[in-house]
Amino acid sequence: MRALVAGAGGQLGRALQDCAPAGVTVIAPSEAEFDITDAATVARVIADSRVDVVFNAAAYTAVDKAEADAAPAQLINADAVALLAAYAPRLVHVSTDFVFDGAASRPYLPDATPNPISAYGATKLAGEIAAGPDALIVRTAWVYAAVGSNFVHTMLRLMRERLEVRVVADQIGTPTHVTGLARALWRLSVAGVSGVHHWTDAGVASWYDFAVAIQEDALAIGLLDQPVPVIPIRTQDYPAPAQRPAYSVLDKSSCWAITGPAAHWRTELRHCLAAIKDLQA
């Protein structure tokens, strides 16, 4: 199998390269080499690469900025997906829990009706539609990695710099270590799966729970020198331009029947923190 990764420099793109199965050739062009918003470039790179599958790990993720100017998000999250779908022999596209409104009280099934409440969520839903029925579309949530900009690194920095950290406690979802997500994408692709599926790590947490766990586990391995108070707050106490789903737990049962179940998010967090410590050594 030959696979092309769009967004190869991002945290998911790097994880897809690191987790590629034996015997798979991965082509991972830079953003400058593979501008997914340019039709001629998309057609040329895919044709020249002679690939069997294209993984779209590229995304516009500036959720709040999209509220004031959704055009860049629409271009990358939707219009570019239509180009990839037009030229890719097979497309694996990654989407988000933000396609839901968060009004549910039980995990969202893959066939639940989307209802995004932010411009970012609307562009990601448009991307799913653009990917088409033959694509493999995998929704995920709260993704983090040992490298890059994400919630884990933000919390570690704030816990070193501040006397206390205030974190929203009334938004519920599931943290997802990018390594498990990348492995799941490979398994689903190799299995020839298409349609909409959900993948996150196992378990449920609020952002506050996630932050508390980050501090506890970072202290245990020496990534942090001393604890600071982690204060739970309400969403309304931390106003932001974009609305977030209050509850965005995804039902992964149909996906896990193919890939096997994910590890609990707390276990994956420990793996990630250990990797961060190794990188700092």
Question: What residues are labeled active site?
Answer: 120
- Going by C-alpha positions, the residue among 151, 158, 271, 272 that lies closest to residue 210 is 151
How many degrees, rounded to 5, is the angle at CA 78 between CA 236 and CA 62?
Answer: 35
- Token couple for 94: 């990654």
CA 90 – CA 78 distance, rounded (Å): 17
Measured at the alpha carbon of residue 43, what is the angle toward residues 40 and 49, in degrees to the nearest 5?
130
Counts for the chain of helices (H) and strands (E), in that order: 11, 12
80 and 233 Cβ atoms separated by less than 8 Å: no
Comparing C-alpha atoms, which of 248, 237, 231 is closest to residue 167?
231
**What gap in Å lies between CA 108 and CA 250, rounded to an integer?**
5
Q: Within its chain, how far is the Cα of 230 from the centroid? A: 25
Do β-strands 176-177 and 230-233 pair in parallel, antiparallel, or remain unpaired? unpaired
Task: Confirm if 232 and 169 have CB atoms less than 8 A apart.
Answer: yes
The 8-class DSSP code of residue 84 comes to: H
Q: Which residues pair with 177 in a beta bridge?
A: 144
Residue 32: exposed, middle, or buried by beta-carbon count in 10 A (0-12, 13-18, 19+)? exposed
